[in-house]
Structure 1
């Protein structure tokens, strides 16, 4: 979606379509359409003079990161002042865009929606909460890096197919305002990301690979339970992408899921033991570098994963959602699943419609027209679904207090 010459992209687990409505945060990428960053060798003359252009410089940065040198300042635009005030001297008379100054300036000017709670910066994101919804906003710059994309595309592979590789290349890259944790110059470094390309890759995984990804995320959340993001869903996604690329697709089928879960756990164990996991898009970048994993935690996780692998197929019983679904009665489970899926679909339509009904007032406040007819119909339908589930739970003797509790539970689990 485009608004105020910014492109908004839902990324992360929500963008991949693999989490419930209230499950995990919603990650939104805000991409300025007035700023372009170019890799060496890309000519600036192909871009309109109104566009502000930066040139990436990565020779002294950790792989997957770069610095940005101002090549041309364009016309006035929404974040013109933010960019101008985030420029600093690189010591050689050139203007450098500081990621630290950039995000700190955004913190000072970010608008507050009605009833929203704004939180402190977390890496490159500006988190906010609204009721039960937690949103991570990340401001990013579009990055043209044909050499990086060409190296990735030229890699020998079993997956993805050529047309998907070309689509990922066409989607390009982004730069987010965060440096490498171990760098003393991280305040002027930017991280290279491929959010839209990675969504395209996940959308082209087959059913067994998607199920493997979901199971590994369950292992992370319900078994390992990291406290400081030593391993993340991003870690699990990269493990799955590497397995998919290196393996003939005929080997992934319904009856092989447990085998691939065993392989995925082994890859995770190796990554934790060696503290090495190459980034799927830029293999030179080690995702386990400076992850904060301490020795005692490392030893505990390796032991836990080894125990799971030794249990064979029974290892999936360690995952609460899998265990509950196996012991549930089929008919009520199918009915509840149907109601929950419809509620999620209504919720997604509601959020999309609410975006179109939101506008920027002259006093700089964002307001939403909740009287919109379609919004009202969606609200009534969601209320009816929740009421049906609430009524059935009461009739079957469940201890449930309010319809709001039912709503949150349905959209979270």
Structure 2
């Protein structure tokens, strides 16, 4: 077993992937052919490398423009939007709001070189579950503590001043942002603007070289050294949420590596990405957790371990279904044992306190076992893939081409509008005339009319262009 790699068997390092349910050369060829065809379908569904890159680039630019409008705050998109794996309205947009003038430092890291006026906390992991910490305030002469921070300070059992995660969350979420606000979800307060759902997390930069170096020094096949170095340089963040069940969770913070994980996900190849997306579909459409016993983040960690522990040449277009089965097996193991090491800090068990009862565990284990035995037929359990398989190729390809262009236009529109936000009236209408905006909107409306015409020709009665607009971005 490689250091930090709980699912790696060194005796299998050089093995060639083959589906364990196959019993003949003919079956192997059929499986490889089905893998290639599945990859083609995933590309048609909007998961190809070109559109993924366009989405990632658009949201990086969006972060840059938004951060420039909010002095003292860095805005970072994370999750599926930063990974380029979802359309604008397909899932929540996860954003970190990071105050530039605050930082927490791992023990033994000194603050002398930080700019004067920076508020410094010491990251203390004593008495906390793995991957969590407390933030103790460091006294620095000449530092003015803003009201938002001062009001979130409290004392621990030893009289030391620390930052309360609960108070910090509440103070940062007092402002009524968004037309609809939802119940707190971990460190975030979800809100909605029509079809656009946003999860904002107010976080603090964290410099923890010791933790990151332990991750970097693991024996691995992936990521390559340049990506490892880049992830280490990106550092970490702490978010205001304690370990579930801890009596001190109101003063505990979770250590996260959002920007580093964005970089890792961007370096996956198509086969690895498709396995990740399909496993997420399995969780959402087949297992259907009600209380987030399993999340997309669970799946992400399974895939990261899978990729780290296996030779990269084995992840090719003809082995997709093999690796999907491997991913299902790891998911089944995580559920069965209630154990999944966090990729960045393996001592932290992502399944701890997941709330999964024995009955649900048995049901999910049996379901996943059935899926593993079904081979390529398991894809028919997933609505989006099943519809694509059953669709006639020509309409699917035609619509995919129009939808990709439509989404690219909306990504451009999203960022093009930011400089004109100050020119909007009370109804959100842009007063400023801009030739590029007009050209984007004109082409968007033309595509909408073409899609509506095709839909009506094929028997649909949907005529509302606004509704079609939302559906094409979900």
Structure 2 length as normaliser, TM-score?
A: 0.82
Distance 1:360 1:172 in 2: 37
| Deviations 1:55-107 (CA, angstroms, capped at 9, x unpaired) | 01101100000000000467558xx2111100001132321100000011112
Task: Tell whether 2:10 aligns with 1:10.
Answer: no
Task: Tell whether 2:420 aligns with 1:357.
Answer: yes
* Higher alpha-carbon deviation: 401-410 or 3-12: 401-410
Maintained 8 Å contact 1:358/1:366: no
What SS does the corresponding residue of 2:278 show, helix, strand or coil? helix
1:21 aligns with one of 71, 88, 91: 88
What SS does the corresponding residue of 1:210 show, helix, strand or coil? helix
Q: Note the C-alpha offset of 1:369.
A: 4.4
Distance 2:423 2:387 in 1: 46
Pair 1:198–1:272, CA change in 2 (3 A): same
Distance 1:360 1:158 in 2: 51
What SS does the corresponding residue of 1:34 show, helix, strand or coil? strand
1:397 aligns with one of 436, 439, 459: 459
Q: Note the C-alpha offset of 1:357.
A: 2.9
Task: Tell whether 2:241 aligns with 1:178.
Answer: yes
What SS does the corresponding residue of 2:82 show, helix, strand or coil? helix
Distance 1:276 1:360 in 2: 52
Q: Which residue of 2 is the match for residue 336 of structure 1?
A: 399
Maintained 8 Å contact 1:169/1:197: yes
Distance 1:127 1:160 in 2: 32
Distance 1:375 1:88 in 2: 50
Q: Note the C-alpha offset of 1:295.
A: 1.4
* Higher alpha-carbon deviation: 348-357 or 27-36: 348-357
Distance 2:123 2:243 in 1: 15
2:168 aligns with one of 61, 86, 102: 102
Task: Tell whether 2:275 aligns with 1:208.
Answer: no
Pair 1:152–1:346, CA change in 2 (3 A): same
What are the residue-to-residue correspondences of 1:236-247 with 2, within 5 Å? 236-247=299-310
Distance 2:324 2:356 in 1: 23
1:314 aligns with one of 377, 380, 389: 377
Q: Note the C-alpha offset of 1:370.
A: 5.2
Q: Note the C-alpha offset of 1:17.
A: 0.4
Q: Which residue of 2 is the match for residue 32 of structure 1?
A: 99
Task: Tell whether 2:149 aligns with 1:83.
Answer: yes
Distance 1:334 1:307 in 2: 32
Structure 1 stretches lacking a partner, 5+ long: none
Task: Tell whether 2:217 aligns with 1:151.
Answer: no
What SS does the corresponding residue of 2:100 show, helix, strand or coil? strand
Q: Note the C-alpha offset of 1:118.
A: 2.5
What SS does the corresponding residue of 1:33 show, helix, strand or coil? strand
Maintained 8 Å contact 2:423/2:430: no
Q: Which residue of 2 is the match for residue 379 of structure 1?
A: 441
What SS does the corresponding residue of 2:211 show, helix, strand or coil? helix
1:132 aligns with one of 195, 198, 207: 195
Q: Which has the higher contact order (CA 8 A, sep 6+)?
A: 2
Pair 1:368–1:158, CA change in 2 (3 A): farther
Structure 1 length as normaliser, TM-score?
A: 0.94
Q: Which residue of 1 is the match for residue 472 of structure 2?
A: 410
Structure 2 stretches lacking a partner, 5+ long: 1-63
Name the structure with the higher strand share: 1
